[in-house]
Amino acid sequence: MLFSNVCIEGLGYVIPERVVTTAWFEEQLQTVYRALGTPNGYIERLTGIKEHRWWDDDTRVSDGSAMAGEKALAATGVDRSDIQCLINTSVCRDYIEPATASIVHNKLGLSQAAMSFDIVNACLGFLNGMLVVANMIELGQIDTGMVVAAEDPREGQLWTINHMRNSPPDREALRDNLASFTLGAGSVAMILRHKDVSRTGKRLLGGVAYSNTEHCELCVAQRMWMRTKSSALLSEGTKVVAQAWERFKGALGWTNAMVDRLFTHQVSEPQRQVALKALDLPSEIDYPTLQYLGNTASVAAPISMAIGLDNGFVKDGDRVVLFGVGSGINSIVLGIQW
């Protein structure tokens, strides 16, 4: 997938103010820990995550996406009437129907002529959304589109705590439910434009997708729970990442040495380090946010990019990689000329 006409106009993001520490989750699980002889600090040592965020009680997923969308509009100076397509890519959503995108569309006050719909693909959804908007721009169907996502894992985390407290202590169940306690809330939005109307000229050059759906049930979730075979997911996910990376370099003609900055989906610190080693990329080009945001699912890679941009991590002219991985196991790698 190569693009000649697509630019990233800018991003907006929201980090919820409410901080929930990993230590707090472990305090809630003390009866389980004592019964199993599990030491305090178990989750943080395995994941490298110290803090997570939760939205305020009255904040919905669509509110988070709309707030990020407003920030993207303000940051780019794009008029909301120019948005011709809005795609919401969150794992979490307000309802099964209507599409959360339609609610965000209304909250942002977009044109009635602007289409809106959801794309859901686990933690990879945002990059899928970017590709759909980019293809529409490349085909001349639209010249400006927005991708948004917001995640809110609190309900599932509280249900998991309650379920584990009221079930017989089980070491395997603790391991399988560990992924629930890596999650965190946040939201992000990106505006993409045709190069002829872009004010930035920050090119989305293209990318590749790669999947191994033989392992589609290593991480499964419903609204109220999540179960993950972490060791197998790490092993098989790393194989998918490595394959996607080699295909990406072939498609864009890049080498490892050409990559200036990297923004990835982040599940845990061990997973991040294993992936970097598999890709033979130095850790200093990566921008981790996992320690204080947790795994923000579809938001993780783009919000890391947005925060990195705000903090001056990316310079004009940098070659940037946006690397997504999602349960399934699916991966997308995108190349950007900043």
Lookup: tokens for 157: 């985390």
Which strand (E) or helix (H) includes residue 262? strand 261-264
- Residue 167 CA: distances (Å) to CA of 32, 37, 60, 115, 219: 9, 16, 30, 46, 21
Burial class (CB in 10 A: 0-12, 13-18, 19+), 326: buried
Clarify whether 123 is annotated catalytic: yes
Q: Interior CA angle at 101 toward 111 and 237, to 5°?
A: 140
Statement: the pTM of the whole predicted model exceeds 0.75:
yes
| Per annotation, catalytic residue among 7, 92, 123, 219 | 123
> What is the predicted pLDDT for the residue at 175?
86
Clarify whether 219 is annotated catalytic: no
DSSP 214: G
| Per annotation, catalytic residue among 17, 97, 172, 284 | 97
My answer on whether omega of the bond before 191 falls inside 30° of 0, hence cis, is no
Dist CA 247 CA 253 (whole Å) = 10
Residues 6+ apart with CB under 8 A from 292: 50, 51
Burial class (CB in 10 A: 0-12, 13-18, 19+), 212: middle
Q: Interior CA angle at 208 toward 240 and 218, to 5°?
A: 30
- Helix then strand count (H, E) for the chain reads 12, 13
Can you give the pLDDT of all 338 residues of the chain as single tens digits?
899 999 999 999 999 999 999 999 999 999 999 999 999 999 999 999 999 999 999 999 999 999 999 999 999 999 999 999 999 999 999 999 999 999 999 999 999 999 999 999 989 999 999 999 999 999 999 999 999 999 999 999 999 999 999 988 888 888 888 889 999 999 999 999 999 999 999 999 999 999 888 887 877 878 777 787 877 877 777 888 889 999 999 999 999 999 999 999 988 888 888 889 989 999 999 999 999 999 999 999 999 999 999 999 999 999 999 999 888 889 999 999 99
